[in-house]
Each structure stands twice: as structure tokens, then as C-alpha cells.
Structure 1
Amino acid sequence: MTQTRNVNQTFLRKPGVELRSTWQSTQAYKRHSHAQLSIGAILEGQTCCTCNGEPFILHPGDLIVIPADAPHSCNPIAGQPRSYHMLWIETDLQPTLQVIRSPALFSKYLSAVETLSASAIEHLLSALTDRPAPADTLRPTSLALQDALRHSLLAPPSLDALAQRFSLRKETLIRTFKQDTGLTPGTFLAISRIEFAKARLRAGDDIADVGYQSGFADQSHFHKTFVSYTAATPRQYATGRSISDNK
């Protein structure tokens, strides 16, 4: 199997938008989520995208729209390589989960990723939806648990302590959180650490420092976890280019 560091992939960034382009990769992802709207495009091969527990088989020319915070994974089929773009957009517009098979929209997507210009991104979003973001449906305990984990990456409180704080049984706390978010608290903590690490890497922090800042005990654990959730090494992600918007 090709090692992750040898996979041909790039990251390009502008304020509010990030593009990942990956070519001929067989690397798989763990289930994860993003705070941003995600829009993926399959360029070559096939992939199976599972979102909110529902699998979708995607082919070249397909787009998949994944709402913010929706747990998902996009993995190769039968170990065969595939090539794809993944676009993350910070926006108040939140289209519903959908697979789109439209040559016109696919062409509009390719135009957007070619420049990442604000106008091209706006045109793409307007073609997808004009509905506002859905209201928050998480229960208060799940929101509080998310907040507690996000703000305690170095030394998160134990589930026993959190359950006591919320006057719940630990099993009830875990079950409620998974019903609301589709993730266990442990998985949510790992994703939060990786998302924090990505932010620090984008800011130019040293990789060795980022692992510690994110709450990982050692570099090996940081590297392994980062790869398992992103199918990219920390160094690959850190060397992604930020490009200015002159459009």
C-alpha cells in the first residue's frame, strides 16, 4: 500500500475556504466531521461516502454536499485508487445532504476550485441552495459536553466527572451525545484535537509543538491519529499554500 506521505495531494487556502486535491489515492479515513460545509467532487475512480450512517457510491462527475458537523467518511472501494477534490466553505448557507449528478453544476464546481475566488464560491453556493442554516437541535447536555471537550484538549474531564456534573448516568450521557451528534465523546475529542491541530498548522506553528498543543502524548500518536482522520500527514497539510484573492 502506498504510504500517506507519498500520496499526490495538495491543500490550497483562502480566507473562509480550503481546497484539498488528491490524486490516485487508496487512503481511507475514519469517520469525522467538519465545522464547515463540505462539497466533494469525484474526478477518477469510485468512492463510498457514508454520511449519517447512509452509504453513497460516487462516480466521476458526481458531487456530494455534506452539511457542517455531519459525521462522514469517504473511502475507496475494493482498495481501488480514486481522485477527488474536497472543498470546505465557511458559510451560513447549509444545503441538505445530497448527491448531485449534473454536468452543469460539476463544471461550476471546477470553475470554483480553479480560482477559489469569492465570486466563484458565491455562484456555486447560490446554485446549491438559498436556505439558511438549520436551527441547532442538540440537547443542552450534548452542547455542554461539546464545549467541555473542545476547551479541554490537553486535559479533558473524565466522562464520570461530566456525568456527575450533569446529574446523569455515564451511559446515558454517552448515548444521548451519540444520538445528537452521531459520534461518541471519545471520537468527538479526537476530531476536536485534529481540527485544532489543523488550525495551528495553517497558522505556521511547528509540527512538534502542534502535537503537544493539541493534547497528544507523543509525536507518534499525533501522526497516527492525524493520518487516520485526514488521510494526510501533518507535514503534507502544513505545506498547503495560502493564496491571496486578487479577483
Structure 2
Amino acid sequence: MKNEKRFVKYDKELQIEAYWFQGILQKFPQHFHEYYVLGFVEKSGLRHMCYDNVDYYITAGDVLLFNPCVPHNCEPMDNDLLDLRCLNIKPEIMSQFMQELTGSEEVPLFASPVLRGDELSGSLLRELHQMIMQEREDLAKEETFYFLLEQLVAAGISKTSIEAKAPPVRRVTEHLLGHYTEKVTLEELAAVACMNKYSLLRLFTKTEGITPYRYLETIRIGKAKELLAQDLEPAEVALMTGFSDQSHFSKFFKEVIGLTPGQYRNIFKVKQ
């Protein structure tokens, strides 16, 4: 969109990323993140989201709570533009804060990806996000983060443990993690799983909520973010993470992350 705005900041003190999208009309394809995403929908028409194979409809005022590695997608149901604030938190960082908050390093597992009608959570998330975007370095920012996590815990966290993956699926995901820089075929994955190709495709997609190919591409995006944070050139990163060319890498990166690889890399250059 011509008038859309996309901002991103990295807070070194809290070690979290903050995204701010204004006036976008973007469809996000099926993907997952290896980190928590806490989001606040400031402005939006009705959007359809499929999260962990369950359908949801989100609109302005909703708080979004995405657990790591849970597949999801999102698309507009009308032509209304989206204003969205997001905080990305790595599991190890979440664990540190939860240790101080609850006395346990066990990371939370949010029961629902959509929190509706919780004005306090939305207000705290928006306030913290604004402080990060303004590059505040005072006590209030860290206090607000603790208050936000406390409120989200009170709002409801599932204590249900994550189910173990079926052995064939586990072997395939481990293989993809170990070979994401290479060309991977369905025949190769079927051999790893000791199944025929069609049976593997059905089992994997049903279990993970995402196809093996999309799973592989999402792993590559996560690894690419780590390399871009080290100030490597996008063209170099594309080759290092197994993408066939820079054009495909840049297109998929923006579809999933909402930013170009160059925009993402630039946030780590601030004040260095």
C-alpha cells in the first residue's frame, strides 16, 4: 500500500523486538515463529486467522498471544487497513522473566491466541511498545513489562504440556533442522520417516499444521534473522540459508515477517 508504514526496533535492555505496522493490507501465509509474539490490534476490519488448525476472527482491540512454533496464518476479510503492534520474545528471555515473576523458569503456554475484552493487557502492551519505539531507557519500561506478563498470567495460561510428536514426524523435523541449507526432497523425507511420500505428507501436515516445505522455509527464515542481526548482506544470507535466490528469499521474508531483509538488518545498526 502506498501510505503504509512499517517500523521496527530492537530493545537491547529487554532483548525483545518491537514491530509497528500502520495501514497495511497484507495476507500472512502459513508459518510459525520460534519465539513468542504478543500483539495488539489497534485498528482493523475483520480478519480471519487459522492458529493451530483452529479458526479465529480478530478485530480492533484484540490482544494476540502466539506460542513458539505454532503454525498460523491471517488474512483480511474486507479492505480495511491493519494497524498492529507486536513484541517478539525468545523463549529463553521469557524464561528469565518468568523466573522472577513466578519463581519457576517454566515458560508459559497461552491457552488461546486471542484475548478479547482485556483492556488492561491491551493498555500495558501498547504502553510498553511505545516506550520501546521511543527508545526509552528508564525504569518505567522494565516495570511495564513485568506488569504486562503478570496480567497475561492472570488472564489465563494453559498448564497442559505439549504433546510429544509421533516418531516419524520428529525424525523429519530434526532432519529439516539439520539440513535447512541444502536442497531437500519429499522422497528424502519419506526415507527418513520410513513412510511413503503421500502418507508422510498427510501425517506431517495434520500433526504440525503446516506442510514439510513450508516448515523448511520457516526454519530458513528464522536462521536468516539471526544472520541479518550480525549485519550480513541479504544476498549472502539467502545463500547461507538454502534459498534458491535472493528474490525468493526477500519475497518470503516480507510475507512472513512483514519487513524486507534489509529493513530487519538495519534495526541492529542503531546506536552502534
Specify the TM-score bucket, using the shorter chain as the normaliser.
0.7 to 0.9
Unaligned runs of 5+ in 1: none
1:8 deviates by: 0.9
Residue 109 of structure 1 corresponds to 125
Report the residue type matching 1:24 in the other structure: G
1:146 deviates by: 1.2
Report the residue type matching 1:203 in the other structure: Q
> 1:74 and 1:216, CA in 2 relative to 1: closer, same or farther beyond 3 A?
same
| Equivalent pair of 1:149/1:156 in contact (CA under 8 Å) | no
* Higher RCO, Cα 8 Å, sep 6+: 1
1:98 deviates by: 3.6
**Residue 125 (1) aligns with residue 122 (2):** no
Residue 135 of structure 1 corresponds to 162
**Residue 81 (1) aligns with residue 81 (2):** yes
Distance across 2 between alignment mates of 1:12 and 1:102: 26
**Residue 207 (1) aligns with residue 230 (2):** no
| Equivalent pair of 1:41/1:62 in contact (CA under 8 Å) | yes
Distance across 2 between alignment mates of 1:198 and 1:131: 29
What is the percent sequence identity of the aligned residues?
22
3-state SS in 2 of match to 1:134: coil
> 1:136 and 1:203, CA in 2 relative to 1: closer, same or farther beyond 3 A?
farther
Residue 22 of structure 1 corresponds to 21
TM-score, normalised to structure 2's length? 0.79
Residue 37 of structure 2 corresponds to 38
Unaligned runs of 5+ in 2: 95-106, 133-140
| Equivalent pair of 1:12/1:242 in contact (CA under 8 Å) | no
Report the residue type matching 1:126 in the other structure: E
**Residue 178 (1) aligns with residue 202 (2):** no
Residue 97 of structure 1 corresponds to 112
Q: CA RMSD in A?
A: 2.3
What are the superposed Cα offsets for residues 15-61 of structure 1, whole Å, 9 maximum, x if unpaired?
54221110111122111111112221111122333212333332222
Distance across 1 between alignment mates of 2:160 and 2:244: 37
TM-score, normalised to structure 1's length? 0.87
Matches within 5 A, 1:45-60: 45-46=44-45, 47-60=47-60
Report the residue type matching 2:61 in the other structure: G
1:203 deviates by: 2.0
Report the residue type matching 1:167 in the other structure: C
What are the superposed Cα offsets for residues 120-164 of structure 1, whole Å, 9 maximum, x if unpaired?
333222222266673342122212211211221221442212322
> 1:78 and 1:173, CA in 2 relative to 1: closer, same or farther beyond 3 A?
same
Report the residue type matching 2:40 in the other structure: A
